[in-house]
Chains A and B, each alone.
Chain A
Amino acid sequence: MGMVFFKRLKGLVLPLALLMTWEMASRQGRAYALTFIPIEKIGRSLIEITLNGELLTNLLASLGTASTGLLIGGTVGLGLGSLMGLYPRVDKIIGPVFHSFRQVPLLGWIPLIGLWFGNGCLAKTLVVCLASFYPMVLNSYAGIRNIENNHLEVCRVLGASRWQTYRYILIPGSLPFIFIGIYHALAFSWISTVGSELLFTAGPGLGGMMQTAQMAAKMDIVIICVASIGIVGLLMNVSLAKLSGHLLRWRSTR
């Protein structure tokens, strides 16, 4: 018990040192104080923008973009990957197209999307859809291909229909891979949300808020945004881990 406590303490040393360095830097003079805003001011700004709802609005907007993009891109990706995994014909036709599109980096799509869809919510959501799409396709494909032939034989012997095989064997059996896909898609969706908000400046969102604050040289708001982005990302990971831990509890813990 004591060991864990000490370990936690040790972990706090560096962060505290960082905070202290920051605080010291802010006291070095006026110019520094503008950049390295004192921690107390950051705290006050935090309270201010929480109370006036600015933080919440932008946070919710970002979350909205992220979840919409993840839902749409992830579902389409899941569907396509599963189809490709289940039907070799589809795989042969669509596979090469998919893989060549995949080579184009997401960043490359952004200018084009900006040109075609403007600067606002639609463009951002589209970017997020794309970002969540690829990992879901790849991983659901792998999940389906990974179902052992042995299990499929058992289905045949027991007389299970095609639909029953999907429901009882293919879907639960490919869940581990699908969860890996969701994990990556989740991470990418959040990163691409922030990225697209930084590049497409219309509309609310943490990225946009951060961009505006940077233009106005308001470091305190920038830091609050950065911290919020990190915390949301962490919460997403933790919840996904818990969910997959429960749904995949049938896996051997070895």
Chain B
Amino acid sequence: MNAISTAKRLPIPADALSLLAAPLTMLALWVLVTRAQWVPEQLLVSPTKVIEAVGELWEAGELQGHLQNSLRRLFLGFFSGAIFGLIFGVLMGLSKSMEDYCAPLFNAFRQIPSIAFIPMLILIFGIDETFKIIIVAKAAFFPVALGGYDSVRGIPKNYLEVAKVYQCPLWPLIKQVVIPATVPQILTGLRLSLSRSWMVLVAAELMAADSGIGQMMEWGRQMFRMDIVVVGVFITGVIGFALDYGFKWLESRLARWKTG
């Protein structure tokens, strides 16, 4: 099963080719299907139409406006949720009694998907900016809190014992043992919460908003402008991917010592 084979060297690594092959093929298929008009216009728009729509939205300044609003909400909500989540999670990990008090409520809220909170928050806060930022914060809070909790609990006792034997004072202990040991999991928690927050935000905008990528998609749908909807879908996907990828890059730089 383990054959020793000598691979021929292609100018481009074979992996990259195969990675691109499928999306490119599907793109080609898409162009083909719409060109040949096998599917009616209303159901499947052609890529050219989509690109035209992008141009249209960009010129009208709408695309930038929507993007700005969405991203603004995302970052406000994410940062507040993440910071609270981190502090909360770390504290819960450090203090057993805090865990005893907080864990049941924490777990109960965690069970409920963020989008399920949307109607409730709308009733309390109205459909303004506030509720969107809060829902993003909620979505961001839990994965980060869990990451913080797991990372603190996960610091192997052995390391702490070694530090004790060498009489390590508190600040160096935190800086050189606790933080490096916890960073990987916290980063993963941050990454997951960022992806989730983005999705929840777009969902909330789909349901009730006056601006934002989600709202743009919903408006497009109501006007039967499929091309605008597709633009929205693409942007959602691309931003989600970029956020995820960027964070993975960050993880690889900051958590370099973790193998595989």
- Indicate if B61 sits at the interface (CB-CB under 8 A): no
Q: Which B residues are in CB contact (< 8 Å) with A7?
A: 100
Cβ–Cβ < 8 Å partners of B32 in chain A: none
- In the complex the two chains form, is B97's CB within 8 Å of A10's CB? yes
Closest CB of chain A to B26's CB: distance in Å?
7
- Interface 9-residue window, one of A53-61, A112-120, A172-180, A240-248: A112-120
**Please, which residues of chain A bring their CB within 8 A of the CB of B21?**
96
Are B116 and A210 touching (Cβ within 8 A)?
Answer: yes
What band does the interface of chain A fall in when counting residues whose beta carbon is under 8 Å from B? 35 or more
- If over half of A's interface residues share one DSSP class (helix, strand or loop), that class is named, otherwise mixed; here it is helix
B242 to chain A, nearest CB (A): 11
A43 within 8 A of B: no
Instruction: Give residues 179-234 of B contacting A (CB, 8 Å).
Output: 199, 202-203, 206-207, 217-218, 220-221, 226, 229-230, 232-234
Contact with A along B25-57 (1 / 0, CB 8 A): 110000000000000001100000000000000
| Chain B residues positioned under 8 Å from A105 (CB to CB) | 199, 236-237, 240
A218 to B122, CA, bound (A): 11
Q: How far is the CA of A9 from the CA of B42 in the complex (A)?
A: 59
With both beta carbons as reference points, the residue of chain B lying nearest to A218 in the complex is identified as: B123
User: B43 near A116 (CB under 8 angstroms)?
Assistant: yes
- Does B237 contact A104, Cβ atoms closer than 8 Å? yes
A96 adjacent to B203 (CB under 8 Å): no
Is the Cβ of A115 less than 8 Å from the Cβ of B105? no
Asked if A14 is at the interface of the complex by the 8 Å CB criterion, the answer is yes
Contact with B along A225-254 (1 / 0, CB 8 A): 110011001100100000000000000000
Separation of A169 and B254 alpha carbons in the complex (Å): 41
- The residue of chain A having its C-beta at the shortest distance from the C-beta of B214 within the complex is A107
Complex contact B104–A14 (CB within 8 A) = yes
A100 to chain B, nearest CB (A): 4
Cβ proximity bits A9-32 to B, threshold 8 Å, 1 near / 0 not: 011111100100000000000000
Nearest-CB distance from A50 to chain B (Å)? Answer: 19
In the docked arrangement, what's the CA distance between A191 and B58, Å? 34
- Give min CB distance, A2 to chain B, whole Å: 14
Whether A100 and B236, one on each chain, are in contact in the complex, defined by CB atoms closer than 8 angstroms, is: no
CB < 8 Å neighbour of A96 from B18, B97, B113: B18
**A35 CA / B203 CA spacing, docked (Å):** 23
Separation in Å of the B247 CB from the closest CB of chain A?
15
CB distance from A181 to the nearest CB of B (A): 18
Whether A14 touches B102, Cβ cut-off 8 Å, given contacts A115-B221, A217-B123, is yes
Contact A226/B112 with A35-B123, A112-B233, A115-B221 known, Cβ cut-off 8 Å? yes
Q: Are A100 and B232 closer than 8 Å at their CB atoms?
A: no
Least CB separation from A234: chain B residue? B111
Query: Complex Cα distance A103/B236, Å?
Result: 11
**Given A112-B229, A233-B112, also A198-B207 (CB < 8 A):** yes
Interface members, chain B 53-98 (any A CB < 8 Å): 97
Contact between B115 and A198 (Cβ–Cβ < 8 Å)?
Answer: yes
Q: A159 near B: Cβ within 8 Å?
A: no
A11-B100, A100-B26 known; A198 vs B118 contact (CB < 8 Å):
yes
* A222:B123 contact, CB within 8 angstroms: yes
Give the one of B113, B120, B122, B234 with max A CB within 10 A. Answer: B113
Interface residues of B (CB under 8 A from A): 1, 18-19, 21-23, 25-26, 42-43, 97, 100-105, 108-109, 111-113, 115-120, 122-124, 199, 202-203, 206-207, 217-218, 220-221, 226, 229-230, 232-234, 236-237, 240-241
Beyond the given A100-B22, A210-B116, could you list 13 further A-B residue pairs with CB under 8 A, ordered by the A residue number? A11-B104, A18-B105, A96-B18, A103-B237, A103-B241, A104-B233, A104-B237, A106-B199, A111-B221, A111-B229, A111-B232, A191-B113, A233-B113
Instruction: Please name 11 pairs of A and B residues whose Cβ atoms are closer than 8 Å in the assembled complex, sorted by A.
Output: A99-B22, A100-B26, A103-B237, A107-B199, A108-B233, A114-B221, A194-B113, A198-B207, A222-B120, A225-B119, A229-B112
Give the top 8 A-B pairs by smallest Cβ distance, nearest first. Answer: A96-B22, A214-B119, A11-B104, A108-B233, A230-B112, A10-B100, A191-B113, A100-B23
Which A residues have a C-beta under 8 Å from some C-beta of B? 7, 10-15, 18, 35-36, 96-97, 99-100, 103-112, 114-116, 149, 190-191, 194-195, 198-199, 207, 210-211, 213-214, 217, 219, 222-223, 225-226, 229-230, 233-234, 237
